[in-house]
Amino acid sequence: MSKDTEIDMKEVELNELDPEKQPMTGDGQAAAGEKNGSVKLKVPEDEVTFTGLSKDELMRVAGTPGWVRTRWVLLVLFWLGWVGMLAGAIVIIVRAPRCKPIPDMSWWNEGPMYQISDVEAFSDGLDGVAAKLDEINQLKVKGLVLGPFHTVQKDQPATLDVKVMNPLQGQKEALTAVLEKAHKKGISVVLDLTPNYLGEAPWFSPAGVDSEVMERVQAGAEHWLDFGVDGIKLPDLSLAAKSAEWSKLQAAVTGNRTADTKKKLLMGVVNNITATEVSVLANTTGADLVLSDLLSKNGGKQRIQAMDTLSSQQMSMGWGLGAAQKTHLSKSTDHIRLYQLLLLTMPGTPVFTYGDEIGLNAQGEGSPKMVWDTQKASPEGAVNETAKAEQENRAAVKKWFKSVSELRVKERSLLHGDYYSLFSSESSLAFLRLWDQSERFITAVNWGSTPEKLTLTLKPQEGVELPEKAKVKLSTDESLKEESSVSLNSFTLAPGQSVLLQFPYTG
């Protein structure tokens, strides 16, 4: 071996490290900064990248017969599905029942009206009226009829001043407080402007209305409407409307209406005229609401006939039992809850006198004092058993009134629904109220002294049918329990009782 070869072999030996001392890197040489003994392996990865078909490949595949047929099948299916959905939507729209448009309603159509002719008897003056508005509001009352308050001496037209309040009746400041609080609660206030309210003839003469009196009433109406009241009430509309000055008064109340202002009410009272005559007055006088005494006719056939005649004008009709004369229900009947139900479910605006909600005893002369003890604890002791029973009865009557009034406001069929008569006799009647696709209601009342067997029948009407049975919604008859089912073909109503039946729309 040559000398040069030995030198090379030594260099190799010197450069080689002991295998145990070599770093385990797999590459032979440790990377910079790595400690001896660390392992850094590079594992080769078989990476597969999917790049899809190229444009040329796609074009070649797209032109094959199989893909051409597939595309055509999918396209046809798409358009068939689209056309099918469109046809289905059209069928649903055509066959679905159309919603009936809500009739044009004013605030006096939205709930009962509540008359307070004697504010002292009601609650010690106008201040007391303002204090009791919370309780009035619970009755769902939409209109408060106050007064008369103006200055006049009995049967003395020369003393008439409709613009000035009689100090004995109250002050303008107190009336302002009533107006402000009532309006906050959504209650409108109507002022009774009966000229000769202290005398027998409301317009001073039973023969006709003096033009000067009418001019004063007109000036008074304009004054109080500017003051903030929401309407006026006038007596004997059939007589007043014959006056040559009537059109001016009517225009003063209703002539300045716009879409942006609250409507002012012109309310007229009529007595002792027929339903047909009431209809004519509603159509020709320009009065917004005509309050009649037609329910004072005791025969069921007469009452149902009046309702039949006037039901199409329900937005202009006011109904009451004694309200036209400003008397209470208790002066006309012992069946307080029966007439509450009847009035609150008839087509038109129910008008009550203060205390009717509790069956206030109004026998005798003068205005009865309102009783406010329905929320107080019942008196105890044997001596007070009679008073306790009377208080509990007033509370029960008021609870009934509130339940019916709340239902009327909530249900469209009762608020402004169509009316159909179903039954009448000398002492009972029944009718149907319905609106479009809302729940239907049947009112049946029997004010007679014997049980009445009712068979409800409806004249053929397009789209209106009676079911075989209906559910009892409200009842004063103990034999007709609430939520029970009643056959409309024949059921018996006990004497002095009433029931409200309900059944659903099934279009």
- The answer to whether residues 270 and 227 belong to one domain is yes
Residue 486's DSSP bridge partners are 470
Residues 474 and 344 grouped into a single domain: no
Residue span of the structural domain in which 299 resides: 107-410
Tokens of 184: 């906050």
Q: CA triplet 313, 319, 321: central angle to 5 degrees?
A: 155
- Please tell me the predicted confidence (pLDDT) of residue 429: 97
The CA distances from residue 149 to 197, 250, 486, in Å, are 9, 21, 50
Are 342 and 303 a contacting pair, CB within 8 Å?
A: no
Beta bridge partners of 353: 115
For residue range 293-348, list pLDDT tens digits in order: 999 987 899 999 999 999 999 999 999 999 999 999 999 999 999 999 999 999 99
Q: How many domains does the chain have?
A: 4
Which portions of the chain are predicted below pLDDT 50?
1-3, 5-7, 10, 12-35
Domain containing residue 481: CATH number: 2.60.40.1180
Q: Which residue has the tokens 């279009």?
A: 507
Give a yes or no: residue 463 inside a domain.
yes
- Ramachandran area for residue 170 (φ above 0: left; ψ -120 to 50: alpha; else beta): left
| One domain for residues 459 and 437 | yes
Task: Note whether 288 and 358 are same-domain residues.
Answer: yes
Distance from chain centroid for Cα 249: 32
Q: What pLDDT was estimated at residue 44?
A: 54
User: Residue 416 and residue 346: Cα distance in Å, rounded?
Assistant: 9
Same structural domain, 264 and 382: yes
Cβ 310 vs Cβ 317: under 8 Å: yes
Beta strand 418-424 with 428-434: parallel, antiparallel or unpaired?
Answer: antiparallel
Residue environment code for 193-211, b if the CB has 16+ CB neighbours within 10 A, otherwise e: bbbbbebeebbbeeeebbe
| Residue 158: both structure tokens together | 């020369």
3-class DSSP assignment, residue 301: helix
Q: What is the DSSP letter of 464?
A: B
* pLDDT recorded at residue 26: 46
Look at residue 416 and tell me if it is in a domain: no
Torsion sign, CA atoms 114, 115, 119, 121 = negative
Q: What is the CATH number of the domain that holds 164?
A: 3.20.20.80
**Whether 398 and 448 share a structural domain:** no
The helix-helix angle for 55-62 and 65-95 (nearest 10°) equals 70
Cα(419)–Cα(422) distance, integer angstroms: 10
> Could you write out the three-class secondary structure of 272-292?
CCCHHHHHHHHHHCCCCEEEC
Q: Are residues 152 and 263 in the same domain?
A: yes
Same domain assignment for residues 255 and 344: yes
Asked if residue 351 and residue 305 are part of one domain, the reply reads yes
Distance between CA 236 and CA 203 in Å, rounded? 8
pLDDT at 461: 78
Please report, for the chain, how many H helices and E strands are present, in that order.
Answer: 15, 18
In a domain, 445, yes or no: yes
Q: For position 356, what pLDDT does the model report?
A: 98
Q: Please indicate, yes or no, whether residues 79 and 141 belong to a single structural domain of this protein.
A: no
Q: Are residues 136 and 21 in the same domain?
A: no
- Whether residue 32 lies inside any domain: the answer is yes
Contacts of 414 (CB under 8 A, 6+ apart): 344, 345, 407, 408, 433, 441
Nearest to 122 by CA among 294, 369, 487: 369
Phi-psi region for residue 435, left (φ > 0), alpha (ψ -120 to 50) or beta?
Answer: beta
Of the candidates 361, 381, 410, which is a domain's last residue?
A: 410
Looking at 381, 410, 439, the residue that finishes a domain is 410
Is residue 415, in this structure, part of any structural domain at all?
A: no
Given 48, 63, 80, the domain boundary residue is 48
Task: Kindly report the number of other CB atoms within 10 A of residue 417's CB atom.
Answer: 23
Q: Is 289 within a domain?
A: yes
Residue 8 inside a domain? The answer is: yes
Same domain, 144 and 282: yes
Cβ-contact 123, 171 below 8 angstroms: no
**Predicted local confidence at residue 387, as pLDDT:** 87
Residue 102 in any domain: the answer is no
